[in-house]
Every structure is written in structure tokens, then in C-alpha cells.
Amino acid sequence: MTLPHSSTLIQFDDVTFAYPGAVADRVILDGMSFAIPRGKVTALMGASGGGKTTVLRLIGGQQVANAGRVLFDGDDVGRMGRDALHAARRRMGMLFQFGALFTDLSVFDNVAFPLREHSRLGEALIRDIVLMKLNAVGLRGARDLMPSEISGGMARRVALARAIALDPELIMYDEPFAGLDPISLGTAAQLIRRLNDALGMTSVIVSHDLEETFRIADQVIILANGRIAAQGTPDEVRHSTDPLVQQFVLAQAEGPVHFHYPGPSLADDFGPTGHGGGAS
């Protein structure tokens, strides 16, 4: 799907990416093309190892495509120099899996960190911004606590406040719901949706939690075998007839995605009787 430039923040054009291996390169993305619209919540989903986190790394410039283009607001991330890449990254926020807070900094100082590192604002203004961001995630009263004194769900919300501290145009979430209890999970999901709309951001979510992700996403992209298996609204993807998409959406054990990693047959490993060492 290709959107007009004015409506598109991120565009993947025929992107191929492979991690180098000892024997052969492991292809993760194979000629992949898609667009992420501005102001919307896009979910990247699919089986583990399908390339979802790799997509985030390519957007942020931590990895460079082997072929094709990754465009951020019309500019090719892979061709950016250091200064241009740093400027682009200042327009992005990232919420890492499990939050990744600085354990020796208070809640307040965790959120203040990007402001102190990437702006020349005075401490009085930084204080006001930090408290506003913490208030947006419901944790203004926890400003003086240490990460060890808050719950996992609260830590994820502090990390979200830190991710939006610089008012990014794009925020990327890597498994934001992992390890959360049902209450914290629902709270986090609605917070992502509410902040996206209130701040006019664009959100990209990598998640395996189908129910909550489908509830808040505008667009869902299912990745499989280096390609796009399905793309559309949550309802369109849910009703896809593709066997792989159906296996993922319905959490089926049997289907195109196999439980066993490809390898020798049981007879090759254990002999025709199925008992170790029984071959003659």
C-alpha cells in the first residue's frame, strides 16, 4: 500500500535485509514494501523471528537495508549522515521492552534525562515538562520514587513518559504489553491510543497481544517469512483467509508455521526403530 507523501511518515520500498551468518546470510525481510500513515497507530505482528523488531531498527537507523529504501518523512534513513540521522532520531521516541529505566535515577530524573541530553532548556522548564509528561501517564505523584519502588506496569508508564518527553512525531513500542497483568495491560493500551491522538503522534507497535493490539490499532501488518502476509484494518486482518494469518489470529498449533525447527528426520537421528542407537 502506497499513500500520498503528505499522509505518509514511513515508507518501506522493496526492502531486503539479512543478518550475516557463519554458513549463509539469514534473510529477515525479503523485498518488503509498506507505508505507515501519519497520526495513526500501526501494529506489526506475526510469529517470533518474523522481522518485527528488525523493522524498528531499520526505521531508527540501527540497521541499514541491504537493498531498497527506508524513508522517514521522505528521507532515506540508510543514506543519512551522522548529523542527519541524529536529527531524525530526535523526532522519534522509543519504548523498549520492559521499560529499560535507569535503575539509579529517580522517576523524575528518568523522564528528565532526554531533555537534559538533547535540549538547552533550563531546569525550571524541564521540571514543568517532566511533571506534565508524568501527569499524562498518571504518575506525577511518583516523581521521587526509584524504579525499584514501583511496579512493572508503573515502570512501563514512566518509560512512556520518557519516550514522549521531547514531543516526538513518531513513537515506537517494542512489546509494550509483555509481562503486564490484565489491568496494567488494558491501561497501557488505552494510554498509547489516547496519547497518540492527543499529541498528534504516529505510533508503531510490535506486539504479540492480539486482543489489545487489535482494539487500539488503525492498521495491522502481519509479517511472515520475510514478507507481508496480511495488511489492513484489524477487522480486515481478522477475516483474512490466508492460512498463515488464520493460524496466528486463532492461535492454532498446526498450520504453515511449524512447531519443529527444520532438521534431520527422527529415523536419521535415532534409527528406524525410534530408539537411540538401534540402527543396524
Residue pLDDT, tens place only, 196-238: 998 899 999 998 888 889 999 999 999 988 889 889 999 999 8
Higher pLDDT, 166 or 244: 166
Q: What is the pTM assigned to this prediction?
A: 0.81
Residue pLDDT, tens place only, 255-269: 666 556 667 877 888
C-alpha 40: how far from chain center: 14
> Residue 28 corresponds to which cell in the numbers above?
529477515
- Of 39-48, 72-81, 96-105, 174-183, the range with the highest mean pLDDT is 72-81
* CB-based contact 190:174 (threshold 8 Å): no
Residue pLDDT, tens place only, 158-185: 988 998 888 899 999 988 887 777 888 8
Domain ranges of the chain: 1-39+47-86+170-176+199-261
- Cα-based torsion angle of the residue sequence 74, 80, 84, 89 in order, rounded to the nearest 10 degrees: 70
Tell me which architecture the domain covering 1-39+47-86+170-176+199-261 has in CATH: 3-Layer(aba) Sandwich (3.40)
Contacts of 172 (CB under 8 A, 6+ apart): 56, 59, 60, 92, 93, 94, 95, 203, 204, 205, 206
d(CA 250, CA 72): 33
> How high is the pLDDT of residue 280?
43
DSSP 44-94: EE-STTSSHHHHHHHHHTSS--SEEEEEETTEEGGG--HHHHHHHHTTEEE
Percent of the chain with pLDDT over 70: 88
> How high is the pLDDT of residue 224?
85
Mean pLDDT calculated for residue range 76-94: 91
d(CA 39, CA 29): 25
pLDDT surpassing 60 at residue 275: no
For residue 198, give the nearest of 167, 173, 220 by alpha carbon.
167
> How high is the pLDDT of residue 279?
47
Q: Give the mean pLDDT of the chain.
A: 85
d(CA 118, CA 213): 31
Residue pLDDT, tens place only, 101-152: 888 999 999 999 989 988 889 999 999 999 999 998 889 999 999 999 998 8
d(CA 251, CA 253): 7
pLDDT surpassing 50 at residue 49: yes
